[in-house]
């Protein structure tokens, strides 16, 4: 236990090392009184140049990974019940060391890079998702603080969702705690974002071209994915297996035998079963085959929805179209999120339906007298409940697809508008009333200023 505590303390001391301040001193600048006054990578990049900012980001990220590693080594000798806490304790110590460093009288950075390092060691999937959100939001808004707040909120939401299925998962608790501290440290940035006074990254080709291109590419990928999973993967598999299940036993391929429990007269609608009974096998096979697609499919839709919504902010301007586009993007993301939770319920009910059907058929085969009207009604209700939720899932999926198609139509004219502005000029040799519209590139925004750390 003493060894584990010493490693946690060492992780805190490592996390407290102010790499941003040290780099600033190397270049003759005290970053605490220059720029935004933050010791984080963003302020370093603004004051000393992008390469130094990237270097400090990587060093701060390494502190988080080192904290997790120290926690792992410190917990080796602990009992099994305590060993899983070691990596989280070490990572949390390094994260708190960056925010409250003992060397700087507990006045440190905002914890984005170090927290990302800890999350990368503990919950890499959540971390990579949050990193993607940070990148998209930052590119779309040119505000690092907006990207940090969005990624921290996503990490908190994903960690909270994980706790529902793994209540004792210490890494998920870290995700919630770290997100809380990052959001708390960015409260002044949040106020400036709402007021429209937050400083932005200097404009350039990457901010002018990439968000609009990403917006259109993701919409195209979203439509392709939804059409493939819905009409090719879903309907195609069900049609194939149902056609096989409709065949008589003598006409079936040898690898698709009819179970003995299904070789009997079907109770029909009174139990919610098909006629003939062996057709139920087609639905079971198709359901099991398609179910492996649904989890990744709905989560991918959520990721696409976040990218589309974030990049829609890139088109904010005068007129109603930007607001309409953002409303449709928000609705599509809401449907995708709802689809995730409905899909989980559908999957649980699918398994319940198969278990109840199997139990009913096997019992009726062994004891025909057990097939009472009450037993049939109970099975019908179970199957009807699954059908209801499955219908909701299908409706959400089709609604999402419809919204994405509308967004694609709205995005096509905006791609050109975001990159060009129509101006009226009088060409040489023409009268003033003979005007012509030319498209010229929008001037670059030279605005720059301190950024979130």
Q: Give the model's pLDDT for residue 413.
A: 57
CA-to-CA dists, residue 215 to 190, 308, 404, angstroms: 25, 5, 11
Gap between the Cα atoms of 417 and 436, Å rounded? 17
Gap between the Cα atoms of 333 and 282, Å rounded? 33
Gap between the Cα atoms of 217 and 276, Å rounded? 47
Gap between the Cα atoms of 391 and 94, Å rounded? 48
**Which of these, 303, 304, 305, 311, lies nearest to 137 by C-alpha position?**
311
Gap between the Cα atoms of 408 and 312, Å rounded? 12
Q: Residue 155 CA to chain centroid, in angstroms?
A: 9
Q: Give the model's pLDDT for residue 422.
A: 39
Instruction: For the chain, 453 residues long, give each residue's pLDDT as a single digit of tens.
Output: 677 788 888 989 998 998 988 988 888 888 888 877 888 888 888 888 878 888 998 999 999 899 888 888 877 766 666 677 788 888 889 999 998 988 888 888 888 889 888 888 888 888 888 888 888 788 777 788 888 888 888 888 888 887 877 777 788 888 888 888 888 888 888 888 888 788 777 766 666 777 778 888 889 999 999 999 988 888 888 888 888 888 887 788 888 888 888 888 888 888 899 888 888 888 888 888 888 888 889 888 988 888 888 888 766 554 566 678 888 989 999 999 899 889 889 999 999 999 999 999 999 888 888 889 999 999 999 999 999 999 999 999 999 999 999 998 887 754 444 444 434 444 444 444 443 333 333 344 433 333 344
CB atoms within 10 A of CB 68: 27
Q: Which residues contact 43 (CB under 8 A, 6 or more apart)?
A: 20, 31, 34, 35, 36, 37, 450, 451, 453
Gap between the Cα atoms of 301 and 276, Å rounded? 38
Q: Give the model's pLDDT for residue 395.
A: 94
Give this prediction's pTM: 0.64
Q: Where do we find the tokens 């995700």?
A: 175
Q: Where do we find the tokens 């449907």?
A: 335
Residue 316: helix, strand or coil by DSSP?
coil
Rounded to 5 degrees, φ, ψ at 53 are -65, -45
Radius of gyration of the chain (CA): 29
Q: Give the model's pLDDT for residue 453.
A: 44
Q: Residue 195 CA to chain centroid, in angstroms?
A: 27
Cβ atoms of 365 and 260 closer than 8 Å: yes
Q: Which residues contact 344 (CB under 8 A, 6 or more apart)?
A: none
CB atoms within 10 A of CB 351: 14
* Buried/exposed 69-98: b ≥16 CB within 10 Å, e otherwise: bbbbebbeeeeeeeeebbbbbbbbbbbbbb
Furthest-apart CA atoms within the chain: distance in Å: 100
CA-to-CA dists, residue 372 to 265, 269, 369, 380, angstroms: 15, 14, 7, 12
Q: Which residues contact 438 (CB under 8 A, 6 or more apart)?
A: 422, 423, 425
CA-to-CA dists, residue 374 to 271, 341, 379, 380, angstroms: 10, 32, 9, 10
Structure-token pair, residue 164: 């529902």
Cis status, amide bond into 423, omega within 30 of 0 = no
Q: Where do we find the tokens 């220059």?
A: 34
Gap between the Cα atoms of 42 and 134, Å rounded? 13
Cβ atoms of 266 and 274 closer than 8 Å: yes
Q: What is the DSSP string of 410-422?
A: HHHHHHHHHHEEE
């Amino acid at each position: 236990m003493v060894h584990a505590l010493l490693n946690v303390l060492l992780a805190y001391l490592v996390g407290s090392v102010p790499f941003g301040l040290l780099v600033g001193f190397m270049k003759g600048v005290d970053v605490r009184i220059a720029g935004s006054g933050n010791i984080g990578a963003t302020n370093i990049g603004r004051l000393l140049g992008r390469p130094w900012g990237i270097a400090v980001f990587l060093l701060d990220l390494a502190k988080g990974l080192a904290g997790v590693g120290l926690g792992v080594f410190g917990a080796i000798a602990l009992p099994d019940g305590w060993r899983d806490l070691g990596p989280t304790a070490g990572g949390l110590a390094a994260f708190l060391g960056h925010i409250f460093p003992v060397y700087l009288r507990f006045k440190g950075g905002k914890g984005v890079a170090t927290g990302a390092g800890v999350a990368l060691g503990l919950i890499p999937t959540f971390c990579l998702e949050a990193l993607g959100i940070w990148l998209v939001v930052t590119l779309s808004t040119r505000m690092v603080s907006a990207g940090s707040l969005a990624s921290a909120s996503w990490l908190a939401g994903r960690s909270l969702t994980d706790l529902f299925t793994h209540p004792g998962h210490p890494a998920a608790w870290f995700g919630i705690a770290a997100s809380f501290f990052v959001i708390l440290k960015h409260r002044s940035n949040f106020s400036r974002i709402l007021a429209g006074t937050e400083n932005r990254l200097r404009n350039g080709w990457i901010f002018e071209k990439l968000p609009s291109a990403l917006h259109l590419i993701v919409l195209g990928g979203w439509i392709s994915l939804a059409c493939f999973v819905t009409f090719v993967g879903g309907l195609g598999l069900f049609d194939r297996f149902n056609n096989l299940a409709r065949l008589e036993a003598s006409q079936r391929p040898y690898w698709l035998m009819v179970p003995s429990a299904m070789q009997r007269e079907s109770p029909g609608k009174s139990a919610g079963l098909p006629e003939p009974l062996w057709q139920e096998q087609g639905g079971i096979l198709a359901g099991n085959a398609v179910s492996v697609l649904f989890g990744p499919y709905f989560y991918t839709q959520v990721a696409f929805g976040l990218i589309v919504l974030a990049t829609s902010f890139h088109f904010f301007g005068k007129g109603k179209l930007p607001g309409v586009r953002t409303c449709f993007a928000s609705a599509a993301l809401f449907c995708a999120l709802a689809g995730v939770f409905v899909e989980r319920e559908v999957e649980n009910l699918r398994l319940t339906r198969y278990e109840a059907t199997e139990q009913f058929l096997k019992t009726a085969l062994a004891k025909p007298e057990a097939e009472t009207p009450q037993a049939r009604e109970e099975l019908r209700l179970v199957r009807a409940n699954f059908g209801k939720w499955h219908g909701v899932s299908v409706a959400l999926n089709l609604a999402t697809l419809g919204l994405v198609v509308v967004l694609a139509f709205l995005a096509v004219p905006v791609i050109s508008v975001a990159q060009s502005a129509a101006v009226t000029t009088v060409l040489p040799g023409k009268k003033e009333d003979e005007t012509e519209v030319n498209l010229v590139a929008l001037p670059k925004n030279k605005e720059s200023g301190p950024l979130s750390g």
